[in-house]
Amino acid sequence: DTEVTQTPKHLVMGMTNKKSLKCEQHMGHRAMYWYKQKAKKPPELMFVYSYEKLSINESVPSRFSPECPNSSLLNLHLHALQPEDSALYLCASSQIRDSSYEQYFGPGTRLTVT
């Protein structure tokens, strides 16, 4: 199984809502990532988890809260978002070995904040 799954595919939320994005992989990867991608732009790294511990937070606003309950699951909790947070949110996973890492990406969640 070389697949990363993400749910939901689409999400529309108001600025006062609380919602969560979910990501799952069963490849035994011990690194998991959240990226944000705006239209016609490259993915921007938000968070990295290694061995279920947060290792990188790229100065992401606190209205985004990541969680890694176990080695297969990654969540992104959303609260009080702004319209400019509307984007495609991508999850990825990779092995941790030497310096190289081949990231497997999920299909993304298309988020619209109204």
Contacts with another protein, residue ranges (CB under 8 A): 4, 31, 33, 41-45, 48, 50, 55-56, 88, 90, 92, 94, 96-108, 110
Give the angle 60-61-66 at the CA atoms, nearest 5°.
65
Going by their DSSP bridges, the two strands 104-105 and 87-94 should be labelled as antiparallel
Least distance in Å: CB of 24 to another protein? 14
Q: Which residue has the tokens 């595919």?
A: 9
Least distance in Å: CB of 112 to another protein? 13
**What's the rounded Cα separation, in Å, for the pair 114 and 105?**
27
Query: Measured from the CB atom, is 77 or 97 closer to another protein?
Result: 97
Least distance in Å: CB of 108 to another protein? 5
User: Using only C-alpha atoms, what is the Rg of the chain?
Assistant: 13
Least distance in Å: CB of 80 to another protein? 26
Query: Measured from the CB atom, is 15 or 96 closer to another protein?
Result: 96
- The tokens describing 26, both together, are 């069963």
* Residue pair 107/55 in contact by the 8 Å Cβ criterion: no
Query: Measured from the CB atom, is 56 or 80 closer to another protein?
Result: 56
Query: Measured from the CB atom, is 44 or 52 closer to another protein?
Result: 44
